[in-house]
Structure 1
């Protein structure tokens, strides 16, 4: 039995499950609903909801904003489900929560034949399935990108972005030696102790040829390859290549640092692109940056697969309205609008291949490749426990509490316990 299968049986044995109750899974009920997600940093979401509400005055949707932290969002959604509360209707779930939420019956199965799934990027729609059934519909995808200052690289005589970690370090040294680059930090990602650290750790491990879990879901993280990836981050902090304050960076802290001109390279999601290119004075780097694939140990690196999908709470009263709202929110037209308004990663293949959109958003081919080659984070039912173990181990190594080898041995032991109990 694989580790994932064992977890499934543990979560679902006897028809139980953490959120199971008498609530109906039938997609019935018409009336007002709520959309529950993390803090809206897009600046345009309410306009989208207003559009729906104008067309459906008797089935309005109200936004409930949860904290910015993904971990806090997940916790509050689970608490609501365990309380069997009908306060939450449509949940915006991180793609790695799908298995956990479906297995514990926090969300209900959706009719796959009512959505254009064949038109969506395969890894994106696959992340919304559990046991080959659809439990959520992607609203946006995400792939990690390397943002870099074109003006500073050109000033140092560098014409191409780095493809390896060694080249990244060499570029930083060259830029630091120029007047314009003096005082600009080399590189940052998301290193605060939250889900973003899991992503950055996974990308470093995968970028060095390692894995956290193998194809069968079994932990295999105490390897030389995984240590080489973690050492890239550990050495970055110890040498100052990664600034000390980056240990507190989530997405928004790093975004502000890059937009204020304090970073040469930044690992970030595509949403940063339109914000950093704003010409209203909010960004000091508008027109002075580009994006490239993440670098790795010996060549281009590997992104973790990001993104969110919409699921329906088991305890929602108006599930029929929730289903129709998800169809509206995840349509191709809306996906392209999210790209145009906030550089959100589309879920439809044809949007990436549109020449006119590529001219307006030149990073689209890079982003498409990032998503298609992305490695999912461990897809396990007890994902919440797994990501906390990853964060503990990685944070300990980055802060010098433990060595990389000790951190990975600790993580291997904890993941083995999670996948066998």
Structure 2
């Protein structure tokens, strides 16, 4: 899941294009050529004709091919791509503005999994009867839950995501380190050993994503969850002002203080941190699966191709806890041609389509069977730790006012990492702010 929405360039489409076109025809209920205008009501999934697909900016080169497969089989129900900005917060803002205006400019929305509660509570997206999604039971259950609000389905999971620890196998091996670290302390110790190598000159130990945006909410959440803390408790109440949360935040704060995390990382989003790792500037990197294909390119763009592997995120006393990422496709409540929209979503959610997508972009699928596919396991050795990451992941707070909640988290974490506010006060102030935003 990337909050800048940039993916690896697709290479596997040609081999599967023919079968996908056939699948597109099978998924639809027939292209009758009618553009009835549909219904703008929030409930009915009716109306056939052209639709639009609103998504963050795609740089993979693969998404247009996906849409072309659908369009080839549905000439009177074509989908038009509506590209939004790379930044996730800007994507959400445009979708919210579109919904508040009751506009039908967007039909299908590619939504971050944490937006479901807000959009559903405001009736900006349409409830989808579960019998309209025939493959729902074949998806990883945790991904299906991301698309639900009050136990009703409002989207279909297309991609999932779990955080992974990328590490330089060549340097760890040369330093006599046989296995990747399981805890933060082990990771810091490994960095000290590797730092003595000539090849490590100028390298930093570790980075995640620490710019003030959604990625910071993810990294903050993972640090707290990996230390045994929570942002909200099992009853949905704020619980961030705890010793466990303090321990997690202090790991990041101390990383910046000691230089284990480079100062430049305060400006890193996914792409900046990926480039730092690929350029040989980091020993360890926390990022999403999409990095794997890009970092392994042999076209000269990566200095670490063939020299890295992935492992679960480290925690305080053992393996850490990832934030559950991913994207769901939902239907704008005010859109036309919703019958076409649900057919298109089912096409994009199909096993064949998801397999083609991971082959081209290394994005995590939501089909459980794909993690056990021998051909994919050979191509993507990270699938086993990724599956473990997703199965053990915790969602970010599922709240109606998510935009306000994530902004509060980002502000508190950023101030603490910058050293302008002590961790204790940052968490105390955040607790007070969240109590005013989260009501049951």
TM-score norm. by structure 2 comes to 0.89
Q: For 2:365, what is the secondary structure of its paired residue?
A: coil
The residue aligned with 1:16 is none
The residue aligned with 1:112 is 130
Of residues 88, 102, 105, the one that matches 2:106 is 88
The residue aligned with 1:246 is 265
Aligned mates of 2:320, 2:415 — CA distance in 1: 23
Q: How does 1:247-396 map to 2 (within 5 A)?
A: 247-396=266-415
The Cα of 1:279 is off from its aligned counterpart by 1.5
Query: Which digits, 9 at most, give the CA deviation of each residue in 1:74-112, with x for residues without a partner?
Result: 111000000111111100111111111111011001121
The residue aligned with 1:57 is 75
Asked whether the 8 Å contact 1:102–1:130 carries over to 2, the reply is yes
Q: For 2:157, what is the secondary structure of its paired residue?
A: strand
Q: For 2:92, what is the secondary structure of its paired residue?
A: helix
Query: Which digits, 9 at most, give the CA deviation of each residue in 1:86-141, with x for residues without a partner?
Result: 11110011111111111101100112113211111111111111111110001100
The residue aligned with 1:7 is none
The Cα of 1:58 is off from its aligned counterpart by 1.1
Aligned mates of 1:262, 1:32 — CA distance in 2: 47
Q: Structure 2, unaligned stretches of length 5 or more?
A: 1-38
Q: For 2:398, what is the secondary structure of its paired residue?
A: coil
The Cα of 1:24 is off from its aligned counterpart by 4.5
Q: For 2:381, what is the secondary structure of its paired residue?
A: coil
Q: For 2:109, what is the secondary structure of its paired residue?
A: strand
Q: For 1:320, what is the secondary structure of its paired residue?
A: helix
Q: For 1:31, what is the secondary structure of its paired residue?
A: coil
1:165 counterpart = 2:184: yes
The Cα of 1:66 is off from its aligned counterpart by 1.2
Asked whether the 8 Å contact 1:35–1:88 carries over to 2, the reply is yes
The residue aligned with 2:45 is 27
Asked whether the 8 Å contact 2:165–2:287 carries over to 1, the reply is yes
In 2 relative to 1, CA 145–24 (structure 1 residues): closer, same or farther, beyond 3 Å?
A: closer
Aligned mates of 1:236, 1:41 — CA distance in 2: 32
TM-score norm. by structure 1 comes to 0.93
Query: Which digits, 9 at most, give the CA deviation of each residue in 1:2-49, with x for residues without a partner?
Result: xxxxxxxxxxxxxxxxxxx97443111211111111111322111111
Q: How does 1:224-243 map to 2 (within 5 A)?
A: 224-243=243-262
Aligned mates of 2:280, 2:62 — CA distance in 1: 25
The residue aligned with 1:42 is 60
Moved more, 62-71 or 301-310: 62-71
Q: How does 1:62-211 map to 2 (within 5 A)?
A: 62-115=80-133, 116-211=135-230
The Cα of 1:355 is off from its aligned counterpart by 2.5
1:402 counterpart = 2:421: yes
Aligned mates of 1:111, 1:22 — CA distance in 2: 17
The Cα of 1:223 is off from its aligned counterpart by 0.6
Aligned mates of 1:171, 1:43 — CA distance in 2: 38
Asked whether the 8 Å contact 1:305–1:374 carries over to 2, the reply is yes
The Cα of 1:57 is off from its aligned counterpart by 1.2
Asked whether the 8 Å contact 1:335–1:346 carries over to 2, the reply is yes
Aligned mates of 2:259, 2:124 — CA distance in 1: 44
Aligned mates of 2:370, 2:156 — CA distance in 1: 17
Asked whether the 8 Å contact 1:175–1:182 carries over to 2, the reply is no
The Cα of 1:379 is off from its aligned counterpart by 0.7
Asked whether the 8 Å contact 1:33–1:89 carries over to 2, the reply is yes
Aligned mates of 1:129, 1:273 — CA distance in 2: 30
Asked whether the 8 Å contact 2:206–2:283 carries over to 1, the reply is yes
Aligned mates of 2:175, 2:83 — CA distance in 1: 44
Aligned mates of 1:166, 1:217 — CA distance in 2: 31
Q: For 2:416, what is the secondary structure of its paired residue?
A: helix
Asked whether the 8 Å contact 1:213–1:219 carries over to 2, the reply is yes
Q: Hey, which bits of structure 1, 4+ residues long, moved more than 3 A?
A: 21-24
